[in-house]
Amino acid sequence: MTHTHSTPIAWPRFAQILNPSSWGRTWRMFLTISISIGLSIAALADTSSATPGEPSPHQVKTLEIPLPDGNINMPLTFAVYEQHGIQYFSGGLGKEERSVIYPPVPLKLIFVQGERAFLAGISVDIAKEDGTQLLSIPGKEVEGPWLFINLPTGTYVISGTRSQGLTIKKTITLQPGKSTTVHLRWP
């Protein structure tokens, strides 16, 4: 029987890559990106209650807003919904939608998980201070993390509910001629 002697392959670079103590900045960047992707996936999970293709009976028109840099010739289009004479629409999904200038409205809700992850698919209920229900917005109408609502001046109780059932409530007061931004933040 003949034995062939092969020269061992030197894997110093490979061994260095496998050694976590030498990862340094690359490892931290990889970990940061992995966490960001995981949070983005968690944010998208809330849209599971939305049923694409089914038109909402609340949709009354569309809103077109051109992109500011003009790189894309087509404007962004948003569905505008209405209940009890109150119009609302959702936006803020992606860099392009966060860069446009939206028409002024009295109330902008922002849905967030933790410190940075935006959420979509949040169901929103809005009642007057006396408990009279004004709006019941289903999650499928909230396609982005921003919800713009044309509410009249007054005090309201806002309830936002994620698809898992966790609800956040806030009482807000809208002043005449002012726009109010409210963050609903889930842990």
Instruction: State pLDDT tens for residues 125-154.
Output: 999 999 999 999 999 999 999 999 999 999
User: Could you tell me the pTM of the whole model?
Assistant: 0.69
CATH number listed for the domain at residues 48-186: 2.60.40.10
pLDDT for the residue numbered 4: 46
Report, as ranges of residue numbers, the positions in the chain whose pLDDT lies below 50. Answer: 1-52
Q: How many residues does the chain have?
A: 187
Closest C-alpha to 141, from 70, 75, 82, 65? 82
What span, in angstroms and rounded, lies between the C-alpha atoms of 81 and 139?
13
pLDDT for the residue numbered 56: 80
Q: What ranges in 77-159 are assigned the alpha helix state H? A: 94-99
pLDDT for the residue numbered 58: 82
Q: What ranges in the chain are assigned the alpha helix state H? A: 12-18, 24-45, 94-99
pLDDT for the residue numbered 167: 96
Domain ranges of the chain: 48-186
pLDDT for the residue numbered 71: 61
CA dihedral 125, 126, 130, 133 (to 10 degrees): -60
pLDDT for the residue numbered 53: 57
**What does the pLDDT look like over 54-78, one tens digit per residue?**
678 788 888 888 877 656 667 889 9
